[in-house]
Amino acid sequence: MMIVQLIVVSILSLIMALLLEVKALYHVRHVFTVLPWILFVAIAEGLGFTLMALGQTYSPPTHAALILSLEGVFASIFSYMVLGETLTPYELTGCMLMLVATYIAKMGCCG
């Protein structure tokens, strides 16, 4: 079932990229220049989702839900560290709220 989800999301993402990223396509001279990137992303996504699904089977549902709810926070942190993107005050506040809420949910609040 997971492979079907990955294929559907990949096809829909490709369609949206072709429709919305027209300027980026001007730099592509031949399909073989981007093929290694497409394969790299496909392998990385497939491996990531497979490991995530395997990890969920070995952890309690509450722990898995807490960890997976922080996916956006981790993506923001890694985009800041790896890509050098800047985070707005609203984004930083959102990350902090998510981390605090996860901590409260895990440790409990008010006794």
In single-letter form, the type of residue at position 100 comes to V
**Mind listing the pLDDT tens digit of every residue in the chain (111 residues)?**
777 887 898 889 888 888 887 777 677 777 777 788 888 888 888 888 888 888 888 888 888 888 888 988 999 999 999 989 999 999 999 999 999 988 888 887 665
- Nearest Cα neighbor of 66 from 95, 94, 103 is 103
Whole-model pTM: value is 0.59
pLDDT value at residue 33 = 76
pLDDT value at residue 92 = 93
Q: Residue 71 in contact with residue 99, Cβ under 8 Å?
A: no
Q: What does the alpha-carbon distance between residue 3 and residue 46 come to, in Å, rounded to a whole number?
A: 8
Domain map (residue ranges) of the chain: 1-58, 60-111
